[in-house]
Every structure is written in C-alpha cells, then in structure tokens.
Amino acid sequence: MCLAVPYKIISTDDTKAIADVFGVRKEIDIRVIENVNVDDYVLVHAGFAIQKMSQKEAKITLKLLREVSEKSI
Amino acid sequence: MKNQFKDNPQLLPLLCKIDKLIELSERKGKRFNFMEICGTHTVSILKHGFRSYFKDKIKFISGPGCPVCVTSQKDMDRVIALAKSGVKIATFGDLIKVPGSHSSLEEQQALGKQIDVVYSPLDCLKIAENADEEVVFIAVGFETTIPVIASLVLDAERMNIKNLSILAIIKTIPNALKFLLANLETEIDGFICPGHVSVIIGEQPYNIIPEKYGIPCAIAGFDPVDIALGIESLITQIKDKNPIVANRYKRMVKLDGNPAARNLINEVFEEDDVDWRGFGKVPASGLKLRKRFAKFDADKKFDIKVETTSEPKGCICGEIIAGKKLPAECQLFAKKCTPDSPVGPCMVSFEGSCAAFYKYGE
Ligand code: SF4
C-alpha cells in the first residue's frame, strides 16, 4: 500500500501540478515539496508527491515498474 | 529464480560479497533471522528469489507492514457497519475484499450499497461536492499515506465541505516496532526498515533499535539491488558487532525525512492507542483527529454499532503479522484460502504475506 511512483512535472499551479507517468497525465498534489519546477521528477503516492527525485533515479525506477507491469499482465 | 540474478550485473558481485561476509561472520551454520517490516519488501524478497537463494543462511520474517492486514477485525466490522447504514463509502481498493465477521464491502456493494474506490484520498473532495448524502473516507495507512489524508481533512475544512468525514484507522510504525521488540518471541538479528514510510519519518525513529536492543537496522529501497544492499549492511554490522541505523535508500530517504509532510500530520492528528490485528491494543501506535477537526470524524458523526466480532475460523493472520508463523503453516493456505476467495486479510492485500507466498512461494 505504500507503493510510490515517479512522475515528471508538466506544469504547476500553486500546490497542484499536472504530471506524467508512462504518457498518462494526472493532477497531483505538491504541497509538501519545495521548489518544484517543470521537468522535475517527484515520487508520488496516492496522488500526493512525497519527495523529489533525480532524473536518473526516476528512469531506473520507471524501468523496473515497466518490467513488473509487463510481467504481471 | 536465480536466473533473475544472473541477468543483473550489479547484483551478482553483491551476492558474492554477502556470501563471503556470511562466512566471515562465524555463525557456524546458524541462520540469520531478518525481519522485513514493510509488505512491499516481503513481496520483493519473495519475487526476486532472495528467500530461496539464501535458504540455508537467512530466514526472512515478515513484519507488521501491510496496513490492510493489520487492520483489526473490529475495525473492519465498523467499516462494514458504516456501509450498511447507507452513507457513501470512499475507500482504497485494497479494502474491498477484506472479510469482516459477517460481510465484506464487496458484498455490501453487490447488495446495492454505495462504495467508491478512490486512487487518492483527495478524490473524496469532488465525490462529496457531487453527492447529496454523507461521504466517509476509510482512512487506512501508515506514514506514507497519512500526509495525503491530513491534506484531505485540511482541504475539506478550507472548502467548508459539510458532508465529508473520515474513519481514522491510521497506524504509525515506530511505536509498533517498540511494542514488537518488547514482546519478541523469536530472536531477530536485523531489521530491513521500510523505504517509503522512511521518506516521511527519516532515520531517527529507528535509533532506539540498535541503541537499546543492539539490533542492526538497514533502511532499504525495493529493487533487488536495494534489498541486497540492505542485507549486506545488516551482515556487515553483525560481523563488526556495530549495530546502527544504516540508510541504504539515501537517494530517497533524508536523515530528517520530509518535515513539511510531518507538520501536516501533526496539525491534523494526535497520537492514540489503537488495535492491531496480531498485537491487540498498542500504546500510541496510531492517530486520531484533533478536536479542531471533530466535525470530520466519522466516529463522532455517526453512531457506529458492530455486531459480535469474530476472527475468520482457522485463519492465523495474527500470528503471521507478529512474525510467529509462516503462511504455509495455515491449514487453509492455498486450499480454502486463495486470492480469489480469501479467508483472511493477509490473502487479500497484494502485499499480504499469504498473497505474496501464494503468488511467488517456494
Ligand atoms: S492463508 Fe488465508 S486463512 Fe490462512 S492465515 Fe493466510 S489469510 Fe488467513
């Protein structure tokens, strides 16, 4: 239940942002993350960003997630 | 399963190093008992074949880190009683199939009760705005999830939404661990500490484990290399007789966690003694809404009455959560109890031990 997924920030609006994961865009909440900019990656749990992450780290995690979801389909 | 290891160039040297460290640690054939606290780690350790790879060397014991599994039977019955009473329930999907003493949310849904599955607790704001009836969010979760639940309550207050409340069945990890340590029946040689809970709480809450109990801790991420790094740290600490809290997930977990997220939690909630399946009541191991938010408290808003509560017959989830037994020791495992027709919560949740063993078991 504590799963969290990296999202890439597309645009921000105060405490909300539009972010992308695997080409799907979602509104997420960024109120506990400081200085969020477009193209940053954040770790998102239940629509809520809990930490910033580097692009390198995000790519590794996304690759793993893709493998997991392909295997479980 | 070992083939997965072969495909991973980073993992092999790490495993060799761990094997060497185990030899050097002079255990003379005695296995290490390592507890992984988090359910996502349980799944990862099984799935990637760590259990079988280290079969003779390490015993992995699952801890109390699956929020759905540790929800007490009585709390589950309260959720179902609320659904029956006719309010609209908003919940994470994980809870739908969990059997209460007499029914489940799934059954209530089939009977026509209104049950909405949400991805984010914040989705409840729109649901409540578009509903005439009362909406109750079933707030289950650990520290990873509590900041977004707190945000829901703060937003509902700010937007003056009157028909929304939460049923708080919220649990926190540090005091549950203290309770577990004070009541241990098996010797634990090391803890693999949760990754995403630690993103919020940081490293400090675990310090008591090495300092008071002399047991090594390693905060770890979830991919195979992360887990191997965690294991390597635990065995190094044992070999050097130097137990600490090692952070092997530094890229995500800061020393002080995420203070802004914790401020949100503290603004909305205060500590409470709560029931855990497998443990019973544990002091200060959960949260309730502060007085200021009483109007969002489903416990205060509704008179929730439960019929007699009874655990599913033959189910040993409680003992599995407490690290005393393994799923295969349950007589119903993979017979009467399967993910399609689960008898207990540990078979319902994707990260419950029984479901994980059923899917990836040895
Ligand atoms: S196998 Fe089913 S009945 Fe047995 S402990 Fe697990 S969830 Fe409970």
The CATH number covering residue B114 comes to 3.40.50.11740
Domain A5-72 has CATH 2.30.30.140: yes
Q: Is the pLDDT of residue A66 over 90?
A: no
pLDDT at A71 over 60: no
Which residue of B67, B195, B258 is in closest CB contact with A1?
Answer: B67
In which band, very low, low, confident or very high, does the pLDDT at A58 lie, cut at 50, 70 and 90? confident
B93 and B169 part of one domain: yes
Domain shared by B77 and B167, yes or no: yes
**Number of folded domains in chain B?**
2
Taking the Cβ of residue B72 and every Cβ of chain A, the question of whether any pair is shorter than 8 Å is answered with no
More confident position, B62 or B153: B153
Nearest-Cα residue of chain A relative to residue B68: A1
Answer yes or no: do B297 and B322 share one domain: no
Kindly give the number of the ligand 1 atom that is closest to the alpha carbon of B342: 2
On whether both B162 and B101 belong to a single domain, the answer is yes
Between chain A and chain B, the number of residue pairs with CB atoms below 8 A apart is 88
B83 assigned to some structural domain: yes
Token pair, residue B304, equals 């929730």
Residue B97 lies in a domain: yes
Separation between Cα atoms, residue B78 and residue B84, nearest integer Å: 10
Assign A37 to helix, strand or coil. coil
Inform me whether the pLDDT recorded for B266 exceeds 70: yes
State whether A50 and B196 contact (CB < 8 Å): yes
Within-domain flag for B7: no
**Domain that includes residue B351, residue range:** 317-360
Asked if residue B113 is part of any domain, the answer here is yes
Q: Within this chain, do residues B78 and B140 fall inside the same structural domain, yes or no?
A: yes
Strands A16-21 and A5-13: antiparallel
Shared-domain flag, residues B77 and B135: yes
How high is the pLDDT of residue A69? 57
Give the start-to-end residue ranges of the domains of chain A. Answer: 5-72
Mean pLDDT of the region B158-183: 94
Residue B249 CA to residue B242 CA, distance in Å, equals: 20
What is the torsion angle, in degrees rounded to the nearest 10, for the CA atoms of residue B216, residue B229, residue B195 and residue B241?
Answer: 10
| B242 to B159, B211, B230, B234, B236: CA distances (angstroms) | 52, 10, 15, 10, 8
Average model confidence (pLDDT) for chain B? Answer: 93
Which among B253, B241, B152 is positioned nearest to B201, based on CA atoms?
B253
> Does residue B180 belong to any structural domain of this protein?
no
What residues does ligand 1 touch, defined as CB less than 6 Å away? B 314-317, 320, 327, 330, 332-333, 337, 342-344, 346-347, 354
pLDDT score, position A59: 83
Do B101 and B129 lie in a common domain? yes
User: In terms of domains, do B292 and B339 share one?
Assistant: no
Residues of A with CB under 8 A from a CB of B: 1-4, 29, 31-34, 43, 45-48, 50-51, 53-54, 57, 60-61, 64
For chain B positions 238-257, those within 8 Å of chain A (CB to CB) are 251-252, 254
**What pTM was computed for the model?**
0.94
How far apart are the C-alpha atoms of B91 and B68, rounded to whole Å?
12
